[in-house]
Structure 1
Amino acid sequence: MLELYTYLAAGWLAFCLLHSIMATLWFKAIIKNLLGKYFKYYRLLYSLFFFIFLVLLLKYQFQLSELLLFPVNNTIKLLTTFTLIAGLIIMISASKKYFLQVTGMKILRKNEFKDEFIYSGMNSVIRHPLYAGTLLSAWSLVLFSADASSLIVCIIITLYVMIGIKFEEKKLLIKYGETYKKYVSKVPMLVPAVKLRTKSVH
């Protein structure tokens, strides 16, 4: 059983590592030299490759005989169902604005795609709503299922997201400069700021 979980962890680590490496500027520069004018399809192929990789990982994970970590009652299942759905809604809402750009499908559009910094909607509340929704969904699934594989995957995803955010924000700071610097100073990373109103006592 331990060996099977080791394979699962190795698969997810490989997924995260490759996902990061293949998105770096130096790796894309190498691919650009190899593909030439066809490099414009790289992002689309990149997304397709990792979609297939993800499907295979999930298929393997769901076939495991699960080791339950703790008992889960109906109240916890009900609450985590709501938070899981909330996380998925946040992910879908956040990804709509970037879907064509992130998946590479923007090349299929005839009109020009504007690569601009978006700070409206959810992005005006937190800087990374897609990642926030991902973490909320992942940890909700852990509490709902209480199985070892979900916990292993969730820990790996959490580490990957937190490290990824640091690198992504460095690139965004270089790309958008002072605009993004001001944005970072005003908008929290993952958790919305709660402003408490206090009444003065006379």
Structure 2
Amino acid sequence: MQDRAEATRNAVLHAAAELFSERGYAATSISDISERSGRTSGAIYFHYTNKEQLALALVDAHFSAWPSVIARHDATARPALEKLVGLSFAVARTFRDDVLVRAGARLWTERKSIDIEMPLPFVDWITTVERLLAQARAAGELAAQAEPSRDAPNLVAAFFGLHTLSDVLDDRMLIEDRLANFWLLLLPGLQADPAPRALLARAGGRVTTGHPARVPDGTER
């Protein structure tokens, strides 16, 4: 019985994530989620008392995805800047590939239309980036002009701005190329001994030519 209930919750949550990600909160109804999930409206209301609670569950799923990703990169023996760049690509791929994460991000941007309190974003990311930059400074990896407490919020803002751009222009299909070009621009100002392409390769990121990203039909974006 418990397995059946869990299967229902998961089916409903994934169906809601797909619809919220595709259409947004206001344009998605419980009836839509029922049709997509193959579960009755009664079953949905049994597990989630209203659409707001479904939205909150997805936002919570979005935020809960990150601690394990961060811990996995922290556990490596890589230098701190490599950890930071590697982490950025892991986050980018998760945004691209995980519908729960994408839905949670869209719902947070639509929070003013949802009558429920949501967690505060970005603060934990700023803390994580500042910590990695401080480690890089202590290890002699960071350029003299770089300042962890000043630069971390700017890096986080630029990173998530890049995601917004990629979401609009190419449905995040080109996010790895765009992120590689992002680091090719910024690493020369962050590394004590600039070698951005070598760092990208070691960190597991896509190393690009630096040319404009292209969508699959070959059109420059």
Name the TM-score, length of structure 2 as normaliser.
0.29
Name the TM-score, length of structure 1 as normaliser.
0.31
